[in-house]
Chain A
Amino acid sequence: MRAIYKTFFTLLGIAAVLSILAPIFVSAQTSKPSLCSKLTDFVSKFEQKVIEHESKLEAKRTEILNKITTKRDERDAKLAGNRTKWDDNRNEHYAKLEERAQTDAQKQAVDTFKTAIEAAVAKRRAAVDAAIQSSRKQTDELIASRKSSVDGIVDAFKAAVDAAIGEAKLDCAGSTDSKTVRQTLISSLKAAREKFKTDRQTIDKLGSIISQMVTTRNQAIQKAFDDFKAEVETAKTALKAVFPEE
């Protein structure tokens, strides 16, 4: 009878200990599926965010291109209008010079002056237009190159995140404990984010390229101006030779 009591209380003790330890075992068993289910949700949110960011980036790109096109059209229209205004003004100056010309030599000199100046103006305008068009072409190429580079680093970032998640899923399904899976995943995601930041900083280093572009454009325009001034000076000297009283 005593032995029965002893066995009964021993079993009771074991049952009590098991009832205390059971939740701990259960918890350990369920923590991994919990992380895996979080992963599915995490992937879904990540993909959704990427789609949103891609959509916003595309909208911004369109906005930038539209802005550039509009501004170029405005500047072209303004320049054309201004040139017409100055053409009219030059014609008024020529008319006044023709009024002053009394002798055949003076009339001929005014005519020569006018031809020389019109040729110089046309040449200068062509050079300025070419410099502006070249600059615009370079800008368009920079935009296209930037787009391609940005798409590349975004794809690389997405691939790195996908790879990290894929590895976590494998670990999750295997024997790796959930804490290690989580730490590895967070570490891989951090590395992907850091690489993305570094890559985009490289893309943003456009300062020197833009600066060079502006310098080249300004030098071309300055040369066109200098050539024009020299041609005007030559034409003026020839004209003054027959209008000595000035």
Chain B
Amino acid sequence: MDIQTLLSFEWGMMAPEFTILIVGILLSLLDLFGKDTWKKSLPWLAVGGVGVAIIFLLFQYGHGDISILGNTYVFDSFAFYFKLILLIATLLILLMVISRTVQQEVRDRGEYLYLLLAALLGGMMVASGGDLISLFVGLELLSLSSYIMVGLRKRDVRSSEGAMKYLINGSIATAFTLFGMSYVFGLTGSTKLVDIAREMSGSLGSGEPVAIIGFIIMFVGLAFKISTVPFHMWTPDVYEGAVTPVSAFLSVVSKSAGFIIIVRIFWGIFGNATFGGSDTLFATMIDFIAVLAFLTMFIGNLVALRQRNMKRLLAYSSIGHAGYILIPLVSLTPVSLENIWFYLLAYAFMTIGAFMVIYILEQQKQSEDISIFTGLYRESPALAIIMTIFLASLAGIPGTAGFIGKFNIFVGAVAADPAQYILAGTMAVMTVVSYIYYFNIMVQMYIRKPQLEGTTKIARLQSVPLILCVAGTIGLGVFPFIALNFFH
């Protein structure tokens, strides 16, 4: 590859990634050598960096599909829309970090910020990766940064324990993913997704069992990132051990990146692979994923019923939501990708919002138990109403983003060929089950009397992410067509 070819690539398309990278490096240097007075403004630098990256990304709206570095890094509409979710979610989480009122929680604040940016960069690499190697490196950048972020609260034994569990589970999952990737590489002799798809579209012949083994092993490994059934056990422990903004990050950004890589690999490679003469390999494996989706929805929502720790409750509810998002993956219709995207976007707003409310209450009451919500309506009506909006959206009440997302997925599952009636039915039943634990929190807020007298105030900085999340949740619920038209 000579210098002319390299310069002919459109490097300008990488502007969002470069922004995040440069801001991350700048943050680490300023944190090391800067004066203490500067350090207060470092979080704003991070917010500014992510903001600039979003603007750079929006300039790419409607740009044709191009790829650089010999198809290893692609900029298609898929990468564009999903990067947008990652960036918006990270922006909200950074605002959440800034709003902190209790100071001693994490002492190494600078690390916290640039690990967050490094993880975001990994997620963006996953969204744009067109090669198994770059997908893997991006995924690991995301994972390794998250392991450290979970363990950053060194003084707290729960943080170290959560981080250790996360790391062990994550490494085993990585090994699974890689093992699957090695079989796919062996079958096709290439790591570039376009080449693999081309090789696989021919007859696989005696390679079919290897392809199936590769498919299953890789899916099991990637299930870790989205916390679905074979690898979901880490979720509650890690969410409980981590600081709340990091839990929100894992729940939204990390999970979105997991879905991105799954869609990219499984639709991209196996969606083209012919199997047994007629069907695609992906179509033959739909039942496998459907079983996982069924189990995930079932376990996530039922175990959430008996949780009292709020972060564990949201962890199990996030397992349940991951199960819902698997449904459009298996019910193949032209709008499947759109449904995944919309649900992830809605999920980002409502989950970050719910974590933000928990974060505010947790700092004031030094507890994560469900009792922090007791009598919240009398202490702070505004916060109670805001939390109600997020809970309604998570539960899927009409008028909220969560309802539109669930409704689209449900319709997609029924309209698909073959129709996934069992999955759609399970989803409906499990949504009803989820009402029990979401409404339990509302009962606590409105009907119970507060244990302690006093009012809960929302600081000005804390209101910023809350307002943005409420706007996102309600806006997408009332005017979903704005987002859906934007997607087309």
Query: Is B a genuine binding partner of A?
Result: no
Measured CB to CB, the residues of B under 8 A from A are none
